[in-house]
Amino acid sequence: MTAVPKKTECAKTVTSVNSKYWSYSRLSMFRDCERQFYYKYVLGLPYPSNHSIRVGKIFHRAIELMIREGYSSSEALYFSIGEQEGLPEGEKTYYLLGMLNKAFDRIPRMDHLEISSELDLSIKTTKGVIKLIIDLVIDDPANDVTYLWDFKTSWSSFSAETHMQLPFYGWLYKQYRGYVGSTFKGKLVFPRLDMSEDNEVLLTDEKLEKAKLWLIQTITLIESKDPDNQEDWKMAKDRSKCDYCPYAARCAGGLLAGLPSTGEPRNLQEAEKIGEYLLSQELALKNMKSGFKKWVEDNQSVNVGSGIWMIEQKSSAKCEDVDALIDFAQRNGLDIKKALNPKPAILAEWLLEDETGELEQLISYSNGRKSFKYVK
């Protein structure tokens, strides 16, 4: 069994808006939702570790042990799971083992390569200290190439070209080291997915300068905000980001006429107010949905978050020759009572079972009922 490694201490979270310690995750949170940043880093509210965060921590610690300490994938995984006090509910060890093996197998093995894993850096800039952890740095002196790899444990891939993280890391790494290969690349690796989903970005001087500007502008925006005024911190426009946010109820609470967004009253008087509020909102939402439905029907579908509001109309099957349908039912051992009053759902079921095509000749179609729905 490989020796047990020392556990690395993480930087303590700073809760002041004027903090001189920054990171990509902190800055990107502000860009995604200023209000979430406010709750976590200004007020210092707890941010529970969710399923995705825990899986990411387990994976990154395990792959570090495999690269640095020579652990097998199973040794590394079980050690990492122990550090995180168990697997998240619903996650399977064999999935994570597969991810680790796929990720490890994608790392090139050539004698002339210099590989560093989990490179923990603190870079001093004019906007304060920037902390970052680069999953993998691969130097290829023979070809004068430097690679920065970042492992993503998500179930879907995205483009390194349009993602700011690798140029952000690239600019900071270049400040730290002072030089990189004449070819400087970043790579996103998705070990849950096929290797074809991995993708690269060429870290040109233009991209690095753009990342530097993004960093400066974001920190400047944060420092311009009023830490004593919650309303100065805007909520995310894309409300799909609220689905897994631990502060979603707090944001909703500010929009519910001063009533608890959990719906749990403190007393009878508050319970009556909640009941009145719900009744008024049901009526308001019914009227609003009716007007919205008419607009969508007259104009077009509307994309909201990760889904779309749309009008759906399915064709409805009918049979006007009931005698012929009864005869068909008798000959095929079907329920004659259903043939006497053929409903579209019954006809659709019988059509699927009819391999002769005979029933199709008895059926005509009309436009079914329009339904208004939100589809993800």
205 and 132 share one domain: yes
Is residue 364 in a domain? yes
219 and 73 share one domain: yes
- Beta partners for 149? 136, 187
pLDDT given for residue 136 in this prediction: 95
Over residues 23-82, the pLDDT tens digits come to: 999 999 999 999 999 999 998 888 888 888 899 999 999 999 999 999 999 999 999 999
Over residues 123-181, the pLDDT tens digits come to: 988 888 999 999 999 999 999 999 999 999 998 999 999 999 999 999 999 999 988 99
171 and 262 share one domain: no
144 and 170 share one domain: yes
97 and 124 share one domain: yes
Is residue 229 in a domain? no
Statement: residue 319 has pLDDT above 80: no
334 and 187 share one domain: no
Q: How sure is the predictor about 315, in pLDDT bands with cuts at 50, 70 and 90?
A: low
368 and 267 share one domain: no
Compute how many other C-beta atoms are within 10 angstroms of the C-beta atom of residue 176.
Answer: 15
Is residue 16 in a domain? no
266 and 313 share one domain: no
Residue ranges making up the domain that contains 320: 308-375
49 and 88 share one domain: yes
Statement: residue 10 has pLDDT above 50: no
265 and 343 share one domain: no
The CATH number linked to 194 is 3.90.320.10
Of 248, 269, 298, the residue that ends a domain is 298
Statement: residue 5 has pLDDT above 50: no
Is residue 112 in a domain? yes
Q: Which residues touch 46 (CB under 8 Å, ≥6 apart)?
A: 246
Of 266, 298, 330, the residue that ends a domain is 298
Mean pLDDT of the chain, nearest integer = 85
Label each residue of 137-161 as H, E or C. EEEECCCCEEEEEEECCCCCCCCCC
Statement: residue 186 has pLDDT above 80: yes
163 and 288 share one domain: no
pLDDT given for residue 240 in this prediction: 75
> Distance (Å, rounded) from C-alpha 342 to C-alpha 261?
47
The stretch 221-245 carries a mean pLDDT of 86
Residue 181 — φ and ψ, nearest 5°? -65, 160
> Distance (Å, rounded) from C-alpha 15 to C-alpha 37?
10
367 and 290 share one domain: no
Of 246, 277, 298, the residue that ends a domain is 298
Number of domains, the chain: 3
pTM: 0.63
> Distance (Å, rounded) from C-alpha 21 to C-alpha 36?
18
Q: 225 or 337: whose pLDDT is higher? A: 225
pLDDT given for residue 125 in this prediction: 84
